[in-house]
């Protein structure tokens, strides 16, 4: 049975066919980059091991922090099960290209010595008695490693075992009675695993908590170093999709925009799941293309945007490089391979 909506879609397609083009629609909606950029400056997705977390908790599943501009706190699975509920979408304005060129992260390196050649040191300790541990995006889990030496190798091997780990922060945490007396490992050398690479200016957790009764002092951090996989693996292409471009430093700015979510990590499969689950657009039909990218603010990874489209496109529209201190990095686009618009809308 044809709904009015479907009839309208069929009619629109018929017109498109007549013109010999499927892409241009009068009612096309462009990426609302202004809303995405504004939201990116409000989110706080930075974390690290809490003082009372036990080692080796399983990494949490990917979650959504913003849905179409509205803050939420929910797993991708829960959002997808809800059909990726839509806000009333605002008419998007054409966004202007950011002026800043992408700058490579210029992390200071104290030493390039890495006990595993697949990893490189991103930053060394600060040379002081007190240092800071990373508070950053895409925190996964941590372990403690044998502290009879400064055990970088064990930490890198831990990263190898944690799914999606590309970066570890290794540091001592003092005056934490759980590490000193409770957890069976009896080590204060923490190795925190992240799904994204972080830089020294993100060493913002200095401890400072009274975790043990006085006269024990406040907790503090020393010898905090960062290590990253030199060549993180290319994300697997989700089933039913093919990769159209990336990694690049341009976000898609194109027609058929449906909306966006922020993810707490760079998870291509999660973005595909949300595209699959998104309520169809009355004109454009189901989500057929998605663009995932990392927002860096002052070179610090800040959030991971997943924007969804009814129109398939390629790198030619991935032109928005950000704005001001926010840069678009690690941008990839994926198109639905099975369902072209005609099979999607006419064969049901």
Ligand X SMILES: *[C@@H]1O[C@H](CO)[C@@H](O)[C@H](O)[C@H]1NC(C)=O
CB of 116 to ligand X, least distance (A): 23
Exactly one of 141, 187, 329, 331 binds ligand X (CB under 6 A); that residue is 187
Range in contact with ligand X (rule: CB under 6 A) among 151-159, 172-180, 241-249, 336-344: 172-180
CB of 152 to ligand X, least distance (A): 15
Range in contact with ligand X (rule: CB under 6 A) among 184-192, 203-211, 275-283, 340-348: 184-192
Nearer to ligand X, 212 or 315 (CB): 212
CB of 180 to ligand X, least distance (A): 4
* Interaction between residue 188 and ligand X (CB under 6 A): yes
Nearer to ligand X, 43 or 297 (CB): 43
* Interaction between residue 303 and ligand X (CB under 6 A): no
Select the residue whose beta carbon is closest to ligand X and give its number. 188
> Residues binding ligand X: what is the number (CB under 6 A)?
8
Greatest C-alpha distance within the chain? 82
Among the listed residues 253, 343, 282, the one whose alpha carbon sits nearest the alpha carbon of residue 12 = 282
Q: Are 13 and 346 in contact (CB under 8 A)?
A: yes
Nearer to ligand X, 186 or 230 (CB): 186
Nearer to ligand X, 149 or 342 (CB): 149
The encoded tokens of residue 48 equal: 């690290």
CB of 137 to ligand X, least distance (A): 13
Q: What would the x/- binding string for ligand X be over residues 70 to 109, using CB under 6 A?
A: ---x------------------------------------
Nearer to ligand X, 120 or 212 (CB): 212
Q: What would the x/- binding string for ligand X be over residues 36 to 75, using CB under 6 A?
A: -------------------------------------x--
* Interaction between residue 147 and ligand X (CB under 6 A): yes
Exactly one of 180, 276, 279, 315 binds ligand X (CB under 6 A); that residue is 180
Q: What would the x/- binding string for ligand X be over residues 281 to 300, using CB under 6 A?
A: --------------------
Exactly one of 94, 96, 108, 186 binds ligand X (CB under 6 A); that residue is 186
Euclidean distance between CA atoms 103 and 177, whole angstroms: 42
Rule CB under 6 A: which residues touch ligand X?
73, 147, 172, 179-180, 186-188
């Amino acid at each position: 049975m044809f709904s009015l909506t479907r009839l309208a879609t069929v009619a629109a397609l018929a017109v498109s066919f007549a013109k010999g083009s499927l892409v241009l629609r009068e009612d096309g909606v462009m990426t609302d980059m202004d809303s995405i950029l504004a939201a990116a400056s409000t989110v706080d997705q930075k974390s690290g091991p809490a003082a009372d977390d036990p080692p080796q908790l399983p990494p949490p599943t990917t979650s959504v922090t913003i849905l179409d501009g509205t803050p939420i706190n929910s797993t991708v699975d829960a959002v997808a099960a809800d059909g990726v509920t839509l806000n009333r979408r605002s008419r998007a304005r054409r966004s202007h290209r950011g002026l800043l060129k992408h700058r490579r992260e210029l992390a200071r390196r104290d030493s390039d010595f890495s006990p595993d050649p697949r990893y490189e040191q991103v930053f060394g300790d600060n040379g002081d008695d007190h240092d800071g541990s990373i508070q950053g995006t895409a925190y996964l889990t941590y372990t403690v490693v044998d502290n009879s030496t400064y055990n970088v190798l064990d930490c890198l091997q831990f990263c190898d075992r944690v799914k999606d780990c590309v970066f570890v922060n290794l540091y001592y945490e003092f005056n934490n009675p759980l590490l000193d007396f409770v957890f069976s490992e009896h080590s204060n050398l923490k190795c925190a695993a992240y799904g994204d690479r972080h830089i020294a200016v993100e060493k913002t957790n200095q401890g400072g908590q009274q975790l043990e009764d006085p006269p024990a002092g406040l907790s503090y951090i020393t010898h905090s170093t960062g290590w990253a996989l030199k060549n993180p693996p290319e994300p697997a292409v989700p089933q039913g999709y093919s990769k159209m471009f990336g990694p690049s430093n341009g976000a898609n700015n194109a027609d058929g925009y449906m909306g966006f979510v922020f993810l707490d990590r760079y998870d291509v499969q999660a973005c595909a799941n949300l595209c699959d689950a998104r309520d169809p657009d009355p004109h454009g039909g189901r989500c057929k293309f998605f663009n995932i990218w990392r927002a860096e603010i002052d070179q610090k990874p800040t959030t991971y945007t997943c924007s969804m489209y009814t129109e398939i496109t390629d790198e030619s529209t991935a032109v928005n490089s950000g704005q001001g201190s926010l840069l678009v990095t690690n941008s990839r686009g994926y198109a639905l391979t099975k369902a072209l618009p005609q099979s999607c809308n006419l064969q049901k």
